[in-house]
A = this chain, B = another copy of it.
Amino acid sequence: MPDQLYQHFRKFIDISEEDFRLMLPFFRTLELRKKENLLQEGQLCRTNYFVLKGCLRMFFITDKGQEQTTQFAIENWWLSDYQAFQQQKEATFSIQAVEPSRVLAIDFRAQEELLKAFPAMEHYFRMVYQTAFAASQMRIKYLYGLSREEMYFHFIEQYPGFVQRIPQYLLASFLGFTPEYLSELRSRKRS
């Protein structure tokens, strides 16, 4: 039983172990290799993912044919292309495992059924999305207000463990600069 999901639910809602056991059939557990794709741009986006272990990233392909990472998800984060998920249409992002990962997957219809069967889960997902939206308001603020360099220093201050963990070329892409410039910033920080 993924006790970790139960603990995450219990952060927000009062739920019995018995009810939680009844919820489990709504989810599938997936084991992912490093760089394994969960979703590809253009595919129907059917599924919402909860990271039990590991790290996912969401990205799109730019006009220049490069992968641009826009979001990461580590343990206890949900991730999907939510516009596509909500409307059950083609994804405009891809999702890939950054490292070997274990995730829980719930399909759109299963999630709708889960919410009908356990209305307390509306509160849980309300809190998940409210928190995610609040974080994205701050993210947009930083994208406007900080230089790329300031973003880097802000990021390593807020998520020191995370920066150790993800490959530097992905961090560079996420922050919008070249791996070379990232090395330069890293050495500047050390000096």
Chain A residues proximal to chain B, CB less than 8 Å: 58, 60, 62-63, 68, 70-71, 81-83, 85-86, 92-93, 115, 119, 122-123, 125-126, 129-141, 143-145, 176
Contacts and interface: CB of A to CB of B under 8 A. Distances in A.
Nearest to A63: B145
B60 A145 contact: yes
Contact of A136 (B93, B125, B126, B136): B136
Contacts of A126: 122-123, 125-126, 129
A119 B81 CA distance: 27
A71 B140 contact: yes
A119 to B, nearest CB: 6
Contact of A144 (B70, B85, B123, B131): B70
